Structure 1
Amino acid sequence: MIERIETGPRMSKIVKHNGVAYLCGQVGDGTSVADQTRDCLSRIDTLLEKAGSSRKNILQAIVWLSDMSDFADMNSVWDAWVPEGHAPARACGESKLARTELKVEIIITAACD
């Protein structure tokens, strides 16, 4: 069975299937990549809770940065957020994001409790 949570005309914020939650890409508010990353991760926490999951259950993260020169600043926030011993498989690349003011977008796949 497929469960869709917070579904709109274009996408669902969460899709669950066979005990796995797939979150739509999350962005955050703020002027710096650190601020946007913190806000983005807060939004991910909220969606993980709605999906019946948590940071400890993240299987994979895909991080898109608008500029790879922000890699260290994004990682400083990311590293403090990921529970020790529960780092997911992760990829990070540079991409043009949906709006020019966006510096980071994160896509999460997580096991559900």
Structure 2
Amino acid sequence: MSEIKRYHSNQRMSQIVTHGDTIYLAGQVGTAGASVAQQTQDCLDQIDALLAEVGSDKTRILQTVIWLHSMDDFAEMNGVWDAWAPEGHTPARACGEAKLAKPEFTVEIIVTAAK
């Protein structure tokens, strides 16, 4: 049976959960009130750091779910995503519109990756 490890946990959630060779990240948000591009970059920087902490990187991402406050922000978010996503290693991805935890958040990114 594979061990489950949790990192940066509190009563509500863990930022990282690993199970065997699979890594699950909590939804990452950027600086509330910043531009869509900046919030996207903040999310991606956090994802890079969290994956590195458990011995992985963006080339090992299996799936990404992106929530946008408004689909009107799709192109701006994709401009940052496309510059960050490693060619030849892009994950399965879904993007939709959702009401996020605070109205100042415009982007939330959830990642599942392999070690």
TM-score by length of 2: 0.95
Looking at structure 2, the residues matched to 63 and 76 of structure 1 have their Cα atoms a distance apart, in angstroms, of 14
After superposition, give the CA deviation of every residue in 1:68-104 in whole Å (9 maximum; x if it has no partner).
Answer: 0000000000011011100000000000000010000
Gaps of 5+ in 1: none
In the alignment, does 2:38 pair up with 1:31?
no
Pick from 60, 64, 78 the counterpart of residue 81 of structure 2: 78
Instruction: Name the % identity.
Output: 60
Superposition pairs of residues 18-97 of structure 1, within 5 angstroms? 18-29=20-31, 31-97=34-100
Looking at structure 2, the residues matched to 58 and 79 of structure 1 have their Cα atoms a distance apart, in angstroms, of 14
Looking at structure 1, the residues matched to 5 and 41 of structure 2 have their Cα atoms a distance apart, in angstroms, of 28
In the alignment, does 2:96 pair up with 1:98?
no
Secondary structure of 1:5's counterpart equals strand
How far off is 1:24 after superposition? 0.2
Looking at structure 2, the residues matched to 26 and 13 of structure 1 have their Cα atoms a distance apart, in angstroms, of 9
* Cross-structure match for 2:11: 9
Looking at structure 2, the residues matched to 32 and 89 of structure 1 have their Cα atoms a distance apart, in angstroms, of 25
Q: Which moved more, 1:90-99 or 1:24-33?
A: 24-33
Looking at structure 2, the residues matched to 25 and 31 of structure 1 have their Cα atoms a distance apart, in angstroms, of 17
Pick from 104, 108, 112 the counterpart of residue 109 of structure 1: 112
Cα RMSD (Å): 0.7
Instruction: Say how many residue pairs are matched.
Output: 112
Gaps of 5+ in 2: none
Looking at structure 1, the residues matched to 6 and 34 of structure 2 have their Cα atoms a distance apart, in angstroms, of 32
